[in-house]
Amino acid sequence: MPYDEQLAARVTRALETEGVVFEAKKMMGGLCFMVDGKMCVGVADNRLMARIDPAAEAGALRQPGCKPMDFTGRPMRGFVFVEPPGTHNTEQLTAWLELALAFNPKAKVSKKR
């Protein structure tokens, strides 16, 4: 399934503007942005995926367009999808990126298989 290349370009520009060192990797049918070797944000279909502090998840889910990330029938704690209404403007997108980047130093690196 293709991902929204315009949203991916907006994420790329925002991370570059903030001076964030990242690696973009195609993963799970979308594009993931890795920061310090850890999944931070991504684009899947037309949605932003954000890895956030699980303690902030309840508040995040009250924001426009935010839903639990669910690939397998079971939501993944600390991961959310943000539908287009929640990333419509630069301020909204920046707020999600800041939330994900704030959690990134505390996030654990996934084990290699």
CATH number for position 98: 3.90.1150.30
The parent domain of residue 61 ranges over 5-104
In a domain, 112, yes or no: no
In a domain, 36, yes or no: yes
Whole-model pTM: value is 0.91
Number of domains forming the structure of the chain: 1
In a domain, 110, yes or no: no
| Per-residue pLDDT in tens (0 to 9) along the chain, 113 residues | 589 999 999 999 999 999 999 999 998 789 999 999 999 999 999 999 999 999 999 999 999 999 999 877 788 899 999 999 999 999 999 999 999 999 999 998 876 65
In a domain, 54, yes or no: yes
**Cα 16 from Cα 29, distance rounded (Å):** 23
